[in-house]
Amino acid sequence: MTDFILVIDEGTTSTRAMLFRADGTIAGTAQRPLTQHYPEPGHVEHDAAEIWNSSLAVAREMVATAGGAEAIAAIGITNQRETVVAWDRSTGRPFGTALVWQDRRTADRCKALVTAGLEPMIQQRTGLLLDPYFSATKMEWMLVNRPDVLAAGERLAFGTIDCWLMWNLTGGTTHATDASNASRTMLMALDAKGWDPQLCEQFGIDAGSLPEIVDCLGQIGETDPSLFGRSIPICGMAGDQQAATIGQGCLDAGHTKATFGTGAFVLTNSGMEPLHSSHRLLSTVLFQEEGRRSYALEGSVFVAGSLMQWLRDSANLLVSAPESEALAASVPDNGGVYMVPALSGLGAPHWRPEARGLIKGISFATTRAHLVRAALEAQAHQIHDLMKAFEADGVRWERLRIDGGMVANNWLAQDLADILDLEVERPSMVETTALGAAMLAAVGAGIHPNLPAAAGAMDSEVTCFEPRMPSAERERRLAGWSDALSRV
């Protein structure tokens, strides 16, 4: 009996597999950390073989928990977006490391393309801005700087992480990416079904090395029987932020969510037509079903949970991330300390890949608690910048739904409500990225008839945080942030 949906959630800092029931409850979780490689400042890499081996290991743990592959109705995949892998079709071996979405090595190339006047055309076609965040310049860099990639010729396969997992899960028989991930490569026009020939030519990429673009739900592929004991259909696939938007039930135009993981990402459902931003936000595919696309407007912050990791592992200011909640609450205010967490540049709406982090206002009175509080406050400050950009594009948030491991911190959730002057909703199950992938797979496998039905059946209770900060205090905080930002 097929009772379960298996989700592979391949993130930036860890790989997880989660076992969901049809009502959205979790029957099991397995997780492994993912090694981060920083060979030079601004360079961020992952071992693609480690990604696959970890994904397979945690998936097998959950298959065993389910009682065998015959108990699993479908697999859903969700993944860190924009990260690029190049591999050999004949052997399945990657050509070097994966270049991670945080990697900034192509900043000069992007700046040159902006200077050449190409950004307006690229934004109009793809909804994206010229930034090293996206996949195209990463692929171009591999072709120029890794001789084995260029020499591979027809054996070369490029893909984002969803595609890399799909290839390995299907034993190399399916080279496919879903439309939500494809929309992050800068090689697909938002209103076109395939890869854009002019964009591929611009970046020197042979479209034959790229995967087929497919729906986010349906019978996308089937696992190699040798992996789990029998074949399991792969019925759902979406980039992590699109999956979280679905998992939050943001299925109608105007619904908005913010996910706080390694970075922080705000998406507003914009319906069946892409909304092109005039204020440095991104238009992206939310999901595709039977060839029809729903779109979202997105703002991307590069450093959120990774700042807590840095405070813990590099600055030694935290023993564990949850400790930050008590530390922030232990002082009445930030003591004049502001932190701009541009550890890998600034994302939306600033788009300054060369920017680096800054701490302003420290004195002999500054304590560890003030520094940690300033790091948490920076999250609300960054989201406020995005809210203002959304408003300038004519999109006003009525409320904000939040998720991701970082928002288990009640102090952070309340600070968001206070600085945004907005009601903030947090579901009882904050790992909505995996839930969204489970919803897609459940519909793709026929367990639920459509996404609204899946959202209704797999929903969870929410906790609401109402703004309570006096307006004068809010304005003081925002002025301090603005001053710190101007110094970066």
pLDDT in tens, 366-407: 999 999 999 999 999 999 999 999 999 988 898 899 988 889
Digit-coded pLDDT (tens) for 78-121: 999 999 999 999 999 999 999 999 899 999 999 999 999 999 99
**Helices marked H in 233-274:** 240-247
Q: Give the tokens for residue 350.
A: 């600033």
Distances (CA, A) of 485 to 7, 192, 231, 342, 478: 39, 38, 52, 10, 10
Helix, strand or coil for residue 331? coil
The confidence score (pLDDT) of residue 1 equals: 47
- Between CA 143 and CA 139 the distance in angstroms is 6
- Of all residues in the chain, the percent with pLDDT exceeding 70 is 100
pLDDT band at 26 (very low <50, low <70, confident <90, very high): very high
The pTM of this model reads 0.86
Digit-coded pLDDT (tens) for 353-376: 788 999 999 999 999 999 999 999
Asked whether 335 and 292 are in contact (CB, 8 A), the reply is no
For 450-456, what is the mean pLDDT? 89
Residues whose CB falls within 8 Å of the CB of residue 198, separated by 6 or more in sequence, listed in order: none
For 328-334, what is the mean pLDDT? 95
Asked whether 328 and 256 are in contact (CB, 8 A), the reply is no
From the list 317, 306, 256, the residue with the least C-alpha distance to 281 is 256
In this model, does residue 47 exceed pLDDT 70? yes
The larger pLDDT score, comparing residue 419 to residue 277, is at 419
Q: Give the tokens for residue 370.
A: 């003030």
Q: Give the tokens for residue 443.
A: 């519909």
Q: Give the tokens for residue 307.
A: 């700042």
Long-range contacts of 106-111 (CB under 8 A, 24+ apart): 106/132, 106/137, 106/138, 106/140, 106/141, 107/42, 107/132, 107/345, 107/353, 107/354, 109/137, 109/140, 109/141, 110/137, 110/353
Least confident of 52-56, 154-158, 267-271, 333-337: 267-271
Distances (CA, A) of 16 to 30, 76, 79: 6, 12, 10
Q: Give the tokens for residue 437.
A: 């992938």
CA atoms within 13 A on the CB side of 454: 29
Q: Give the tokens for residue 91.
A: 């052997």
Report which DSSP code applies to 130: S
Q: Where are the domains of the chain?
A: 4-241
- Cis peptide bond prior to 349, omega within 30° of 0: yes
Class of domain 4-241 (CATH, top level) = alpha beta
Helix, strand or coil for residue 354? coil
Asked whether 199 and 126 are in contact (CB, 8 A), the reply is yes
The confidence score (pLDDT) of residue 2 equals: 65
Element housing 297 (H / E): strand 292-301
